[in-house]
Structure 1
Amino acid sequence: MAKKNRFLKLLSDRIVDNLLERELVIADNPESFKEKVYEILYSDYKTEKELEEEAERIIQENSEEVFYRGVSLHKARKLIKEKLAKERGIPVIGSVFSREKANYLAGKILKLILTDEELDYTQERGVIRNAIVGSFEEVAQLRKEIDQRVREKIASHSRPIYEGTPEWYALYRRYYNEELIERGLVEPETEV
Structure 2
Amino acid sequence: MKLKKQHSSYIARKITKDLINAPFIEIRKEKSFITAECERIINEDIQKEIALDEAVDELLEKQEDDIEFYKADYRQLFWMTKKRMANDFGVNLNFEDRFSNIAHLIMDYLYEEDFIHFTVSDNQVKNLIAESIHNFIKGYDEADTLAYEKIKTYKRKLIPGTEDYDLVFSRLYEEELIKKGLI
Shorter-normalised TM-score: what interval? 0.7 to 0.9
Cα distance, 1:14 vs. partner? Answer: 0.9
Report SS of the residue matched to 2:23.
coil
Gaps of 5+ in 2: 179-183
**Do the aligned partners of residues 57 and 20 (structure 1) sit closer, same or farther apart at CA in structure 2, a change above 3 Å counting?**
same
Deviation per residue, 1:9-51 (Å, 9 max, x gap): 1111111210121133323213222221111101011111111
Between the aligned partners of 1:100 and 1:130, the Cα distance in structure 2 is 12
Query: Percent identity at matched positions?
Result: 13
**Matched ranges for 1:122-141 at <5 A:** 122-141=119-138
- TM-score for the superposition, normalised by structure 2: 0.74
Compare relative contact order (CA 8 Å, sep 6+) and give the higher one, 1 or 2. Answer: 2
Cα distance, 1:92 vs. partner? Answer: 0.6
Between the aligned partners of 2:59 and 2:45, the Cα distance in structure 1 is 21
Aligned positions, number: 168
Between the aligned partners of 2:39 and 2:168, the Cα distance in structure 1 is 25
Report SS of the residue matched to 2:117.
strand
Contact in 2 for aligned 1:51/1:85 (Cα 8 Å): yes
1:85 partner amino acid: A
Match of 1:26 in 2: 26
Between the aligned partners of 2:70 and 2:153, the Cα distance in structure 1 is 43
**Matched ranges for 1:9-158 at <5 A:** 9-30=9-30, 31-88=32-89, 90-93=90-93, 98-150=95-147, 152=149
1:110 partner amino acid: M
Cα distance, 1:68 vs. partner? Answer: 3.3
Deviation per residue, 1:86-124 (Å, 9 max, x gap): 234x15137xxx323211211212222442234311321
Deviation per residue, 1:76-95 (Å, 9 max, x gap): 2222222322234x15137x
**Do the aligned partners of residues 155 and 9 (structure 1) sit closer, same or farther apart at CA in structure 2, a change above 3 Å counting?**
closer
1:128 partner amino acid: V
Give RMSD over aligned pairs: 2.9
